[in-house]
Amino acid sequence: MSGHSKWANIKHKKEKTDAARGKVFTKIGKEITVAVKEGGGDPVSNSKLRDLIQKAKANNVPNDNIERCIKKAMGASGETYEEVSYEGYGPAGIAVIVNATTDNRNRTAGNVRAYFSKYHGNMGQTGCVSYLFTDVGEIVVNNEDGDIDEDKLMETALEAGATDFKSDGEVFIITTEPDDVYAINDDLVKAGYEILSAEKTKQASNYVTLEDEEEIKFMGLLLDKLEEDDDVMDVYHNWENCDR
């Protein structure tokens, strides 16, 4: 089975998460607030909230924090967030999708547009690059010690409903349907595997390699600025030789 290797990207994200966990908690909290406002505070009947609770746990957010966030969202009347998505191009036409949760659409749009402009890209119209991406679920299994039986893990993953399986050095990357990712993750945890990340994400249909040092520099700066923005939840792109 095949698939684009994203471990360098995942590893970079994990390192940044470890270094700035408070910001990660804040961002997930905003997403939970939106989900509760839209569908209520019961994860049994609110599938979006259920997925976000799983996402929070995968990012090591304490259960007490999650519960407080849900209760606050159920009782809050002043906080109003909305989800927005932006599309654009980085240096050399790298496709970029930015998902944000904001209480001020004008502020967020202005910031995102400024990042694209400053770092040799440009923000485009809705739909300009989204057709290049497919929604998937992705689970990363730790194999740092190299002692996992690959055939056994692949069999377990496929029996649980996975759609693709790839070995990538010190990890295995398992692709799923978006709505199946957390259930399959639970099955793998029960089977004794150590999960490094499990999330819904976007997979590009093709990837672009950057060779020019200036393009690499500015594309890296663009991604860093987007990910540092408090309103930005997720950034997806099709940069092949990305180290972040």
The C-alpha atoms of residue 66 and residue 56 are separated, in whole angstroms, by: 7
pLDDT band of 187, cuts 50, 70, 90: very high
Confidence (pTM): 0.83
More confident residue, 93 or 77: 93
The region of weakest confidence among 55-64, 86-95, 156-165, 194-203 is 55-64
Residue 167 falls inside a structural domain:
yes
- Residue 234 has a CB neighbour count (10 Å cut-off) of 19
Same domain, 142 and 182: yes
Same domain, 43 and 157: no
Residue 242 falls inside a structural domain:
no
Highest mean pLDDT among 2-16, 61-75, 127-141: 127-141
- Is residue 19's pLDDT more than 70? no
Domain range enclosing 146: 133-203
Residue 190 falls inside a structural domain:
yes
Domain count for the chain, please give it.
3
CA-derived radius of gyration, the chain: 18
φ and ψ of 230, to 5 deg: -65, -25
Same domain, 92 and 48: no
